[in-house]
Structure 1
Amino acid sequence: MFRRRESVPFSFVAEAERFRSNVTPPPRERASVSQLAGRSLVGLTLIAGFAGSLLFGVPALDTDRSASHTQQSEATSHR
C-alpha cells in the first residue's frame, strides 16, 4: 500500500521557509526621553540589587574559623 501525502491544512509549514514578503514593516518608534530614563532607572535598580546582595551575602557565607574557635574556647573556660 502507498502512503498518503500530508493533509492540506499543514501544507503551509513546508512552504514557510520559501515564502518572502515584499511588504516592508513600518519603522520602529523611537523611545521617548522618559522611556529611556525609566529603562535606565530599572537597570540601575537591578544592578544595585545585585551589588547589595553580594555585599551582604559574601560575608554571611564566609566561614570564619577563628570566631568558632573563640566560641568553643569560651565555652570550655566557663566549666
Structure 2
Amino acid sequence: MSRRRETVPFTFVAEADRFRSNVTPPPRRRASVGQMAGRCLLGLTIVAALVGSLILGMPALSISHSPTQTQQASHGR
C-alpha cells in the first residue's frame, strides 16, 4: 500500500492557514467625534438600564421574614 502525501484529509484547508496575501487592505478610517460620542452614550445608557433594573428589582428579590405579615394573613379570616 502506498502512503498518502496529505497530512490532513483536505489539503486546501491546511494550505489556507499558511497563505499570506501580498495585497494590503486599505487603512481603517478613524471614527469621528460624533460616532465616538454616540458609542459612549449608548454604552452609558445600557449600563444605566442594567443598574436601574437591578436597583428596582432588589425589593422583589429580597425575602422578608417580618411576623406582622404572617399574623395578618392568619387572623384576617
TM-score normalised by structure 1 residue count:
0.73
Q: Gaps spanning 5+ residues in structure 1: where? A: none
What residue number does 2:14 align with? 14
What residue number does 2:28 align with? 28
Percent identical pairs in the alignment equals 62
Q: Gaps spanning 5+ residues in structure 2: where? A: none
What is the letter of the counterpart of residue 71 of structure 1?
Answer: Q
- Give the CA deviation at 1:77: 4.2
| CA–CA distance in structure 1, aligned partners of residues 25 and 59 of structure 2 | 52
How large is the RMSD of aligned CA atoms in angstroms? 2.3
| CA–CA distance in structure 1, aligned partners of residues 54 and 73 of structure 2 | 33
The superposition leaves residues 27-53 of structure 1 with CA deviations (integer Å, 9 ceiling, x where unpaired) of: 110001111111111101000001001
What residue number does 1:46 align with? 46
What residue number does 2:60 align with? 60
- Give the CA deviation at 1:78: 4.8
What is the letter of the counterpart of residue 12 of structure 1?
Answer: F
TM-score normalised by structure 2 residue count:
0.75
- Aligned pair count? 74
